[in-house]
Structure 1
Amino acid sequence: MEGPAPEYIDWNIFSQILEMDEDPEEREFSTSIVSNYFEQAENTFDQMQTALTARNLEELSSLGHFLKGSSAALGLTKVQSSCEKIQHFGAKKDETGFIDVPDEDLCLERIGEAFTDVKEEYKESQQFLRTYFKNAV
């Protein structure tokens, strides 16, 4: 890897995925993992947009939880963190997940903000990964 990993990627986690490649030149395993993640993330963002429009907090919490796990598995820390916020706000909690926030409108507003953030963080991560994999993903 040339230069330091960006602050939004936990290189320790990401390098564990790279170590699973049989051929470090081909990177067949890690390329497929990252490609699948991109597809999964974009589908999840579409579902989040639909759930946000429908004001479906429970669905938003579930989708946030789902994408949080996938992002954590790749070491995409900022995406993971924003998805966790969406998960908590969808469960009518504050961003820590410990304090109840019974105001649905406020939760939806905060989800909207976190959703904007997560899409930008995802774009940054995607750009880095596409460059890293020389546009093979």
Structure 2
Amino acid sequence: MPDTHEEERSEEGSVGLPDLGDSIDALTFEQILEMDDEDNDDREFSKSIVFGFFEQAEQTFDQMDEALEKKDLPELSSLGHFLKGSSATLGLTKVKDSCEKIQHYGQQKDEAGTKDEPDKQICLDKIKDILVVVKEQYEEVEKVLRRFYAEPSS
């Protein structure tokens, strides 16, 4: 039944959102779109936020790769926390959830952040695995959002 609710939400969307899939929360993303100037069909404001996030995410992934090589768990936790916040702002739920897991493992906690994980190598291995997944999740939402902002074909 969750599909029915998602369809209802996107049909109610005042901005005519395309199907954003289950990786983007339509209601959160629509709040970003509501900040666009009504007279501007180009959606310059929201587009600048989204494309700024793309640059930020790619830089953060590079920094995460470097921190992983250095086995720097505190830095991985910090970067996970940072990217979790920016992806949450845009409603990128899967990216946000994966970044939260990186944040927790970086703190030497379990995935949920509730139990200690004293083995640093286990945390590093988990982060390495999650990093592969979160990059795929990011690529998926990047494609959807780039298509959403594409110039109309003439």
Cα–Cα, structure 1 residues 10 and 102, in superposed 2: closer, same or farther, change >3 Å? Answer: same
Give the partner amino acid of 1:104.
K
1:8-34 superposed Cα distances (whole Å, 9 cap, x missing partner): 000000000001000351101001000
- Whether 1:115 aligns to 2:147 is no
Q: Displaced runs of 4+ in structure 1, greater than 4 A? A: none
Pairs aligned (count): 136
Aligned partner of 2:117 in structure 1 is 101
Alpha-carbon distance between aligned partners in 1 of 2:76 and 2:145, rounded to the nearest angstrom? 26
Query: Identity over aligned residues, as a percent?
Result: 54
- Secondary structure at the residue paired with 1:7? coil
Aligned partner of 1:17 in structure 2 is 32
Give the partner amino acid of 1:61.
S
- Whether 1:49 aligns to 2:68 is no
Structure 1: gaps spanning 5 or more residues: none
Query: Scaled by the length of structure 1, what TM-score is found?
Result: 0.95
Cα–Cα, structure 1 residues 107 and 39, in superposed 2: closer, same or farther, change >3 Å? Answer: same
- Whether 1:40 aligns to 2:56 is yes
Give the partner amino acid of 1:111.
I
- For the 8 Å contact 2:18–2:148, the answer to whether it is kept is no
The CA RMSD over aligned residues, in Å, is 1.4
**Whose Rg is larger?**
2
- Secondary structure at the residue paired with 1:97? coil
